[in-house]
Chain A
Amino acid sequence: MKQLLLLVIALTLACLTAARPVIAQGFLDFTQNDIQTYDPRVACSSVSGPGKSILDGHELPATSGKTGTEKEINRDGVVTSGPDTGNHVSFFNHANGIASQYGDDALNYYITMRWNYVSWYWNGTSTDLNSGEFQWMKEAPRKVLVTNSRTGKSIIAVALEAGPAPWTGVDTQPNNNPKQGWANPQRGTPLGYTGRVSGFPQKALQALGATQGMADGSGDVLQYSWAPDQNAAPGPTEVTSANQNSDASCATGAAQVNAEGYAFPIGLTKADVNNGYNWPCATNCHHDNTPAFDLAHNDTVKNNDDAKTVGVPVYAIFDGKVQGIGDAHRGIAGCYEFQLVGNDGWQYWYGHIAGVPVQEGQAVTAGQEIARVGQRKCTANGSYPHLHIDRGSPKGKVGGLACCRDQSMVPLMNSLYDALQ
């Protein structure tokens, strides 16, 4: 009970000190086994603070951070593919029990974290055993609730392996010097570390809709806490909460992605975003009566308040790669346009933008920030600042041409708008 009280205090402090206000509701309640009461914003709100979830006095090594891929295991807890084939995972003794109780598929939902029973060197080796912690992990399969705030998807994962090495997802070389404040050796994750704090088999990553943390800084930041119900089956789970994804601090630099993999392309709220006409768009909502969208803040459109739109993040509407950034748009300094060649087969034209953080040809994921809305001059002073987006028709052709825009973009944008908070 004392631990629970400490946790509540720690989380409350974290909420109060967060950059954005977080409504203090739905705290973890380990006295209940009802997952419906869990609010992932709690885990999220502790991202910027030192607070960590504690279960029976045992701390999670991290409450947020990037992730990576682990290989599948069999009922013996043995890795079945990749360079480590044949090796046992650290807590292989739980594998058979998990598979027997929940089915073999449950083994696809194991998690690896740098558990606190040892201290971790940068190169992935460990030392300084805390045998009490180790025995606690060996005693029973410990379960972790993992949430991807970008996609709103969650899983229950079972702790069967230790890792990943701290250098993964930060560097491409195991033997480089420790980075990001990683003094040797470390328990858990030091402040400032931005690499991978966990790993899952591919199926679990897919269930989370998560992308791996990469050395270039890309990848989803996931939220972790001990599962409120330690008897829950490993696998996808639903976390119901009125505002489960509304905390923008959980989704820095990313937009929410729907089940089909699409994200609304501009960082404005449902109440603020204006397409020049009405939502939902009836047929065409572009000034030339074509299926394109000029998206800006209401105050920019109605009151010429450019500052409400200039610099607003622009997101990848779908997974794909960026092409044609090229020279400044129409020779206007600081203004750009490009095609997002979507993996859905469409080419999306983004126009009147600036501050492009991605490289030509770079692969991007839906919801990833790929630009900022440019100034009024990026429309050649012909309109208010806005993001222009359309996609080329027929499928596969470039977007941006008034002659050849895809009509089915309209219902797609309407549905993405509907899902906005």
Chain B
Amino acid sequence: MNIISIDPETNQQRILGKDARFWLVIIGIVAAILVALNLFLSFALVHISYNLGEQVPADKVELSITSSSGVTTHPMFLGSYAFIPRSTSTITAQTSNSQTVKTIASLPYFKIPAFNLTLQAQQTLSNQGSQTLGCNLVNSSGVFTHNCTSISEINKIDRPTNGMWGTVPERAGYQGDTYKRYKAGYLALQDPSLATPKDTNAPLRLEYTIPGGQTQFINLPKDFSQNTADNVAIVTDQANQATDAFVIANLSTGKFLYMPSWQQAATATAFSRTTQIDTKYTATLCTMSGTQLSCYYGPYQGSNDFESQQDYKKYQDYSRSHPGKLELTTLPSAQTAVYSIKNLDTADNIYQSTSTLYLQNHEKLYQLSIGKNADATLIAANVNHTGPSLDTLYYTAGDSLFQHLPSEQTTYLRFHSENLTALNPSIYGDQILLNSFINAPEGTELRTIASVYQLTPKKLPANQKHIQDILPYRDENLGIAFMDYDDTRIYISMQPVYSTDLQTGIRTINSAALKDRQNRIVEKLRQDALADNHQLIFR
């Protein structure tokens, strides 16, 4: 049979007995089906709506979507409906001072999902103290601050009634490079290999310090760590300070010690990581919630297996085909379940807020959904620090504080001020602390002051500014040397006004001019409605 023939009447070519127009129609239909199929597989029709919560000013609301790779675009809307790529991981609604982000794990194929975003008013911050050192802790004894890389020195926030607010030393001279928050204080490792003189026979000591309280020590078994803190990690429940249990992990050997409480530390249960974990997974990150230990295992480029140049391609291939495992261990029975991690090749950090696990890879934060696998869903793309709490996770990103509520699959902006860089959320019960720098012009003393703020439940009234948006004053013509404040007091240190006798060069304080300067500052505070509801302390 000829595939191509000539129609004797029309003299036109026929294919399989059909004329060309027929085939053109067929090709067109097939192409249209393929295009439609591609659109169907690549895009989803969704319904997006928003509403303004209490005290959120009526303002233009901007909607945007962010892909799993972190690219943000604005979808085209037909009324409240929009076609969005199936790779979309978040939908964001924002106004000039509020922002709500909905997380999308997956989009259904045969249903139009509806997403409603509620914009909420920001909360306010209460200044708890100044001259902080980067990381802070609050407990029943007060607010404490230390360098984030160590607890070898801890200062207590000091706010005398009439004096300048600052810090006083709480303790100093300890080792404390390896530490973790635990209950009202810290667990830390005292490394005998760092002692002077070096004592290689001494056991590794575990320290429990409660700032404002006691410091106690126990010795770890000598065969656990070869008497060095290298590659030893402390794992505690970061979200719940009521949890007594903790784990000490030797990341090199995969050995763990489970301690049901500090008091029962001597009766530790030893166990090892499961044999299902690849020995090439040298990156080990652990967290715990209650008595569940959660560990991420993944390949690490700097490990012995992959460090050399010729091995780099091997590492790349390996990490793509073996992107990491999540091991959940129930304690003290040490029963384990291992899950493959999907949608994420490597991770730097792991967090847990009671029932929800998060992984961070550089600045990207993912939530894990545990099913057959551990599926990672992008939540935020430029995260600085996180603070897990009960059933929620606070994080700082782009100088702002956000709260992720896994139960709602939603993130809310809780605080933003152009004048503050919000960092290092630190949680104790329902107290959320932030370490913050004042964004002041370079070279001014204001820039050097780091402070600790507490997030309050009070909502920012519509069309009002945060006090952090106003203070400290940046107008150098006011002649302010330094300014600090809390909820009830404003502390002002004025630059002196000098009078120089041009005949003798002798310099004195011009008290009258200084009084004028003080009056101008008070007037400015009055204009900003801050003079009458604060005690003004001039120094």
Contacts and interface: CB of A to CB of B under 8 A. Distances in A.
A270 interface: no
Interface string B294-313: 00000011111011110010
A53 interface: no
B507 to A, nearest CB: 4
Interface in B11-48: none
Interface in A140-180: 162-163, 165, 172-176
B149 interface: yes
B502 interface: yes
Given A211-B443, A287-B309, A360-B134, A174 B423 contact: no
Given A125-B507, A382-B302, A363 B447 contact: yes
B301 A288 contact: yes
Interface in B247-277: 249, 251
A165 B496 CA distance: 9
Given A82-B477, A123-B496, A336 B282 contact: no
A252 interface: no
B445 A215 contact: yes
A172 B303 contact: no
Contacts of B462: none
Contact of A172 (B302, B482, B509): B482
B506 to A, nearest CB: 6
B295 to A, nearest CB: 10
Contact of B304 (A174, A352, A381): A381
Contacts of A381: 304
A377 B135 CA distance: 25
A134 B505 contact: yes
Contact of B448 (A214, A287, A336, A379): A214
Interface stretch (A34-42, A100-108, A253-261, A396-404): A396-404
- The dominant DSSP class at the A interface is loop
Contacts of B249: 331
Contacts of B481: 172-174
B363 interface: yes
B177 A83 contact: no
Nearest to A326: B385
Nearest to A137: B505
Contacts of A218: 448
Interface stretch (B87-95, B108-116, B215-223, B230-238): B230-238
B384 interface: yes
Nearest to B361: A401
Contact of B493 (A172, A289, A324, A379): A172
B422 to A, nearest CB: 9
B390 interface: no
Interface string B377-395: 0000000110000000000
Interface in B314-337: 315-316
A270 B422 CA distance: 40
Contacts of B122: none
Interface in A192-219: 211-212, 214-216, 218
A124 B502 CA distance: 16
Nearest to A205: B443
Contact of A134 (B308, B316, B504): B504
B423 A88 contact: no
A90 interface: yes
Contacts of A183: none
Contact of B502 (A88, A115, A215): A88
A399 B115 CA distance: 35
A83 B498 CA distance: 11
Interface string A222-248: 000000000000000000000000000
A372 to B, nearest CB: 11
A85 B479 CA distance: 11
Contact of B476 (A82, A127, A323): A82
A403 to B, nearest CB: 9
B66 to A, nearest CB: 15
Contacts of A123: 496, 509
A83 B478 contact: yes
A359 B448 contact: no
Interface of A: 69, 82-85, 87-88, 90, 92, 115, 117-118, 123-127, 129, 131, 134, 137, 162-163, 165, 172-176, 211-212, 214-216, 218, 287-289, 323-328, 330-334, 336, 352, 356, 359-363, 377, 379-383, 398, 400-402
The 9 closest A-B pairs by CB, nearest first: A172-B482, A83-B479, A333-B178, A288-B312, A382-B307, A287-B309, A216-B448, A382-B302, A359-B134
29 contacts: A69-B443, A83-B495, A83-B497, A83-B517, A84-B498, A90-B505, A118-B505, A125-B498, A125-B509, A127-B506, A172-B481, A211-B443, A323-B384, A326-B148, A330-B284, A331-B233, A333-B233, A356-B149, A359-B133, A360-B135, A361-B450, A377-B231, A380-B282, A382-B307, A398-B363, A400-B362, A402-B301, A402-B312, A402-B316
